[in-house]
Chain A
């Protein structure tokens, strides 16, 4: 067990899988010679060569398309989209091709492909570099979508994603690459379809994924000081969406908050809330509260940006309100 930053945990997963399986290769913009925009792929081109760590032109459709064709032809590509904002120009390849190919060809082929890409705001990068879109992908049958929030899960889920026979959207977050945590050495696999309680509690359930998991954990620590015991459920598996730990938790706490970094409408929280209404309506003592980004294109100004994205204070205020403790 070593303490690693998220980016190094991801790097370790890539290195281990590339060593384990010759058919695994990486492709993306500036992932090789430049070592990656966020240094997740640092040192890998040096170690594995230019064929297995392919620097591509700035051509997103080609990155995803090449990965799909290579996957159908027997390889296991891991494509990096520099940020999730840029995948918009390749959405056809992701949705109409990667997600649908297996089904529309009657199961005649498969697309074992991982697309790694970070979203997230809070760095004054404005409207075209700050958003989170995991719900867009989680809407699509044929894709798997995961968004880990700890270094250990990042390593374990990336290794599982590379071994999976389906296209997996592996959503990272620019705000978490430097976050540190204990990471098991060597063979550490985390399933792609299991959510889990990251912090047990009795009074209220907070579910969150990716960077918002960290926000939720911090909020729970603060709430504890005020005598509120919050249970935090990590929603790292978004599609397929594992609801079991949320439903179980709500049956205990009767109150639920969802936290996400993307916009609220049609968001991850909307889906979780619907499913809780379907599966545990009678257990709820209050409507599900959704915390999400303000519905504006991310502003540049620091103060505006700060209020546009959810933070610890939002979670605390909402939790107290739900418990009638404001």
Chain B
């Protein structure tokens, strides 16, 4: 499938050309891929419970957008957020520990796969109600303007979320109140088993911003450099001009909706076709052509990352469960709260 880009020149001039930057993008994407593959394995071994949604296939969208942010910028995401959390700088060990439900996890085992969080990395959470986080992201945007600081908020959600009221309420006030937000729609073409064209009257999501007179772009979400380039522009717009925007990244999840999805609603050929445009392989090829990467380096990086992920699993395995006496901890903040 060829994704028609909105930004006419988005392929012609890459934001990043130097080896270090490209290598960082490459490593980050590979880390998410290997992390998620390991997560699937651990789920099948029943080390991980509940619902578990993987980012495999969406790495370029995740890394291309989040790498454009500072540590102090805010990211809000959904239940499909392991990759977002890692890209925002959370230690994979703490993410894996959370999936294992351990006290050392990002949310001390209280949240699980769908509710990762980090104040330190301003990863403001995984939310499991479709569309719910967009209004909350607007609140961080309002706080930034209120305090007159220069952070930016990125609110990431699926194509399915663009049909829910909260999406429209959020775009409206973001524009009305000049909130420094980049809304990122991870259009992976399906909401569970329902294809975009069976759920949305408008299948090019970027167009939905037109109703709010908001800047919007559509980009090939399998091309990390294109995603990064356009995100840089939109983030700058938010930071400097306090103008929100909507970025539609067209991508694909290689696996089912969640680990329990038998994936019967789409053809195997479709999946295979998208895999030919794999974001990690593509960047690798691009870098090799530029003589910035060799096959030996690729192999070495993969080994490093694979062992980093092994370490995360080891850490999670060896971490303690939460203490039963702490069941009620943090229902309320503050002393004497009951």
Contact = CB atoms under 8 A, between A and B. Distances in A.
Interface of A: 25, 51, 54, 56-57, 59, 61-62, 64-75, 77, 92-93, 96-97, 101-112, 141-142, 144, 164-166, 193, 240
A164 B334 contact: yes
A165 B107 contact: no
A62 B115 CA distance: 21
Given A68-B136, A97-B136, A105-B107, A61 B166 contact: yes
Interface of B, secondary structure class, is mixed
Sort chain B's interface into a size bin.
35 or more
Given A61-B135, A92-B129, 12 more contacts: A62-B135, A65-B139, A66-B135, A67-B139, A69-B139, A69-B141, A70-B142, A70-B143, A101-B125, A106-B117, A108-B117, A141-B331
A45 to B, nearest CB: 15
Contact of B106 (A65, A108, A166, A193): A108
A102 B173 contact: no
Interface string B165-205: 11001101100100000000000000000000000000000
Nearest to A64: B135
A310 to B, nearest CB: 29
Contact of B333 (A54, A96, A166): A166
Contacts of B61: none
Nearest to B137: A69
Contacts of A193: 336, 338
Contact of A62 (B107, B124, B145, B170): B170
Contacts of B136: 65-66, 68-69, 72, 93, 97
Contacts of B332: 102, 142, 144, 166
A69 B119 contact: no
B222 to A, nearest CB: 31
B119 A109 contact: yes
Contacts of A71: 139
Nearest to A65: B135
Contacts of A112: 333
B118 interface: yes
A106 B132 contact: no
Contacts of A142: 331-332
Interface in B95-136: 105-111, 115, 117-119, 124-125, 127, 129, 132, 134-136
A315 B272 CA distance: 73
Contacts of B165: 61
B181 to A, nearest CB: 10
Given A74-B147, A92-B129, A107 B329 contact: yes
A72 B118 contact: no
B51 to A, nearest CB: 14
A242 to B, nearest CB: 10
Contacts of B105: 106
Nearest to B138: A66
Interface of B: 74, 105-111, 115, 117-119, 124-125, 127, 129, 132, 134-147, 165-166, 169-170, 172-173, 176, 329-334, 336-338
Contacts of B129: 92, 96-97
A59 B331 CA distance: 28
Contacts of B119: 108-109
Contact of A104 (B110, B139, B144): B110
A315 to B, nearest CB: 30
B149 to A, nearest CB: 10
A106 B173 contact: no
Contacts of B135: 61-62, 64-66, 68-69, 93
B55 to A, nearest CB: 20
A218 B118 CA distance: 53
B107 A108 contact: yes
Contact of B146 (A51, A59, A109): A51
B139 A106 contact: no
A96 B136 CA distance: 12
A54 B107 CA distance: 33
A108 B169 CA distance: 27
B145 to A, nearest CB: 8
A166 B333 CA distance: 6
Given A102-B333, A108-B107, A69 B142 contact: yes
B169 A69 contact: no
Contacts of B331: 102-103, 141-142
Nearest to B74: A73
17 contacts: A57-B172, A59-B173, A61-B135, A62-B166, A62-B169, A65-B134, A65-B138, A69-B135, A69-B138, A69-B143, A70-B146, A72-B140, A74-B143, A103-B110, A106-B107, A109-B117, A110-B333
Contacts of A105: 106-107, 110-111, 115, 117, 125
* Most A C-beta atoms less than 10 A away, residue of B74, B166, B172: B166
A59 B169 contact: yes
A226 B103 CA distance: 62
A90 B137 CA distance: 16
A299 B208 CA distance: 41
Nearest to A110: B333
A106 B140 contact: no
Nearest to B139: A69
Given A92-B129, A96-B129, A109-B117, A73 B330 contact: no
B138 A106 contact: no
A57 B125 contact: no
A72 B118 CA distance: 12
Contact of A108 (B118, B140, B173): B118
B125 to A, nearest CB: 6
A164 B117 CA distance: 22
A68 B141 CA distance: 11
Contacts of A57: 169, 172-173, 176
A65 B142 CA distance: 11
A240 B147 CA distance: 33
Nearest to B165: A61
